[in-house]
Structures are given as structure tokens and as C-alpha cells.
Amino acid sequence: MLTIGKLGQQAGVKVPTIRYYEQIGLLPEAERSAGNQRLYSRKSLERLAFIRHARDLGFTLEAIRDLLSLSDRPDQSCAAADAIAKAQLAEVESRLARLTALKAELERMVLQCAGGRIADCRVIEVLGDHSLCATDHSHPEPELSS
Amino acid sequence: MLTIGKLGQQAGVKVPTIRYYEQIGLLPEAERSAGNQRLYSRKSLERLAFIRHARDLGFTLEAIRDLLSLSDRPDQSCAAADAIAKAQLAEVESRLARLTALKAELERMVLQCAGGRIADCRVIEVLGDHSLCATDHSHPEPELSS
DNA sequence: CTTGAAGCTATAGTTGCTAGAGACATTAGG
DNA sequence: CCTAATGTCTCTAGCAACTATAGCTTCAAG
Ligand SMILES: [Zn+2]
Ligand SMILES: [Zn+2]
Ligand SMILES: [Zn+2]
Ligand SMILES: [Zn+2]
């Protein structure tokens, strides 16, 4: 059995984060020692490592909650899990597209500035006027699904 | 003079967001009409458009606060403004690198899954074991706003 | 047996908004 | 001029996913 500190070390997750995951029901309530300290099994470590890895891949806690409950039913079809992963891939691709446009625009700004006074600064000028931009990088509207 | 609603329309910023910007001191306190409603000048619109554009380019409100106060001193050197933009570019580049790795990993996961039971699902398997990953995507992501 | 690290709970703060309640102001139509 | 609809006001709370603080208790080493 592991203390919360050891568990955190082994999974690469900070101690308060583990308690937070328990609080929101992503991890089950831990066993307690005689002195009321949390104790974790090897299985808890696996579950936490799963969460950590999914977080590293950008999944939301809600998606992870679903993935965990799916992984608890090994005989069911994995279609739902695959759908979650595909949605995450789509999300990453759309962010990537947006960031690529941002990068181009920021590079242009930085390169065009000759480095004089604020009054002549291309950075300030472009920030004040999107029509000086080459790309469209406006915030995507929240999509209203029927 | 514009009401807050007109200002919001023209700048592409929602009304509560404008009030929020005022509250945190990013916009100065607005003039008020006889009936206590906020009134804005053409200058306010420029300032708000600046903020909006900088947000669209991913700058934090803190960075925007600095950029705004720089733009109020047109005779000073623009080095500080350029530095902020360069830092933002670096930030975007690092996110881009990370997201590119995530995309590759998610694509691998999704492609490798043959689509059977959860017990054999490659998505679930890889999420449980980072050593099955081809790339290193360790550090968490500072979620870019919507 | 003492001391310092590690653990406990509970609360509040972070970023950048967004949503709601309940009251007042303004405007267009009849 | 009255009314209904919209717009605006303040205030509060909520979202994600933690992180930090305060003030305790418990544990392990020396
Ligand atoms: Zn410059
Ligand atoms: Zn632009
Ligand atoms: Zn699968
Ligand atoms: Zn991995």
C-alpha cells in the first residue's frame, strides 16, 4: 500500500491533485490507515496513471470519466471509446489550425517592426487594426447543435 | 456616444465582457448618462478593439494591460512591446510543438484500434501505458481559451 | 522523545469570462 | 401618454482544472 505522497511520485501527479480527483469522484474514496491517512493499491496507481496520461493527451476530465467507466466494462464494444478519442483528435486538429494562423500573424508583426518608438511600432499598430492582418484568426463561435 | 450594447456590437465583444474589463481595470470607468448607463466614445471603441484583437491573437489580459499602457506612451521605445509579442510567439510555438505531438499520438491510437471489445481496444490500452507512445508529450497544456 | 516532514480538512484564489436574479432606463407602437 | 419590449444596472455564482493557504494531526528518524 502506498501513501498519497508515494502514489503522487510514482504517477507524476501532485498530492492536492489526487485529493481533488477523489473529491470530484474521478478516483474512488481511498482506504484509510488507523491515523486517517489515505492508502492506495497498485490498482489505484494504474487508474491514476491512466488519468494522468489522458490529461497529458489533452482529454478533459469529463472525457476521462467516460473512458474510465468504459474501461471498467471490458466486454463491451469499444466504439464509444474510439469516438471520444476521435473527438479529441478533431479538437487538437482545430486548435492546431488556429495556432498555426496565430503563429504566422505574430511572426509577421515581430518581423515588420523596425524597433523604434511606440508610435511607429508595427506590433502596436497591428494589434489596433485587424485589417492589417493577412489571416483570419477570429475566435470560433460556439457551435449551436440542433 | 455609444451605449454598451452598440459598443459591444461594433467591437465584437459581449456586453458582460466589457463590464468585466472595466471591473478589472483594463478599461477605464465609463462615463454615465443621466440614467446611470455607460456611454462610450470612439476612443473607447479603439481601445476595446485593440483588446479584442490581442485576445484573438492569444495574449493574456496581463500582457494586454502592459501593451495598452505602452501604447499610451507613444514616444518611448517599443522594445518592451516587441518583447511581449516575441514571448507570445514563443508561447504559441511551444504549444504548436506540443499539439503536433499530441495529434500524432492520437492518430496512432485511433488508427491502431481494430474496433472490437474494450478489452482489446488500442485506445484504452495506450491511455493506460505511455510506454506504448512514440513521442514524449509529458508536460500539461495551458488550455487556450475557446 | 523530539523534531521535522508528510498528511488531514476546509476554504479561497487562479484565468477569462458567462449566466442568472431582480430592479431601473429607454424606446417604439398604439 | 401609456404600455410593452428591450436594454442596462448591480450583484452573485458558476465553469475547468487545478493551486495555495491555514491550522491542525500523524508518522518516521534520530
Ligand atoms: Zn516595435
Ligand atoms: Zn488580426
Ligand atoms: Zn477501440
Ligand atoms: Zn503517451
Q: What is the pLDDT of residue B141?
A: 59
On whether the CB atoms of residues A23 and A30 are closer than 8 A, the answer is no
Average pLDDT over residues A81-100: 96
pLDDT at A143: 35
Kindly determine whether residue A67 and residue B124, on different chains, have CB atoms separated by under 8 Å: yes
**Residue-level pLDDT at A146:** 28
Residues A137 and A101 sit within 8 Å (Cβ to Cβ)? yes
pLDDT in tens, chain B (146 residues): 999 999 999 999 999 999 999 999 999 999 999 999 999 999 999 999 999 999 999 999 999 999 999 999 999 999 999 999 999 999 999 999 999 999 999 999 999 998 899 999 999 999 999 999 999 887 655 554 43
Residue A116 has pLDDT above 70, yes or no: yes
Average pLDDT over residues A52-62: 96
Q: Are B77 and A116 in contact (CB under 8 A)?
A: yes
Q: Which of A61-65, A135-139, B40-44, B137-141 is predicted least confidently?
A: B137-141
What's the confidence (pLDDT) of residue A24? Answer: 96
**Residues flanking ion ligand 1, Cβ below 5 Å:** A 113, 121, 123; B 78, 82
Of the residues A53, A98, A100, the best mutation for testing chain B's interface (the one with the most B CB atoms within 10 Å of its CB) is: A53
Confidence of residue A138 (pLDDT cuts 50, 70, 90): confident
**Chain B CB within 8 Å of residue A90 CB:** no
CB B90 within 8 A of CB A50: no
Summary mean pLDDT of chain A: 93
Q: What is the mean pLDDT of residues A53-72?
A: 97
In the prediction, which pLDDT does B145 show? 43
Q: What is the mean pLDDT of residues A29-46?
A: 97
pLDDT in tens, B79-112: 999 999 999 999 999 999 999 999 999 999 999 9
A 92-121 residues with CB below 8 A of B?
92-93, 95-96, 98-100, 102-103, 105-107, 109-110, 113, 115-121
* pLDDT (0 to 100) of residue B72: 95
How far is it, in rounded angstroms, from Cα B5 to Cα B146?
22
| CB atoms A81 and B124 under 8 Å | yes
Interface-testing mutation among A77, A82, A127, A129, with chain B (most B C-beta atoms within 10 A): A127
Q: What residue spans of chain A are helical by DSSP H?
A: 4-11, 15-23, 42-56, 61-71, 79-112, 122-127
- pLDDT score of A144 more than 60: no
What is the predicted pLDDT for the residue at A76? 94
> What residue is closest to C7 (Cα–C1')?
A37
Return the ligand number nearest the Cα of A134.
2
Question: Cβ separation of A117 and B146 shorter than 8 Å?
Answer: no
Cα–Cα nearest to A52, from B128, B65, B115, B8 = B128
Instruction: Provide the pLDDT for residue A140.
Output: 66
Chain A residues touching residue B57 (CB < 8 angstroms): 102, 105-106, 127, 137
Name which of A80, A28, A18 is nearest A49 in CA terms. Answer: A18
Q: B72: helix, coil or strand?
A: coil
User: Is residue B144 within 8 angstroms of chain A, CB to CB?
Assistant: yes
Return the pLDDT at B142.
Answer: 58
Strand D proximal to A17 Cβ, under 7 A? yes
CA distance A7 to A15: 8
> Quick one: pLDDT at residue A139?
76
Q: Strand D: which nucleotides have any atom within 7 A of a protein Cβ?
A: 7-11, 16-21, 25-27
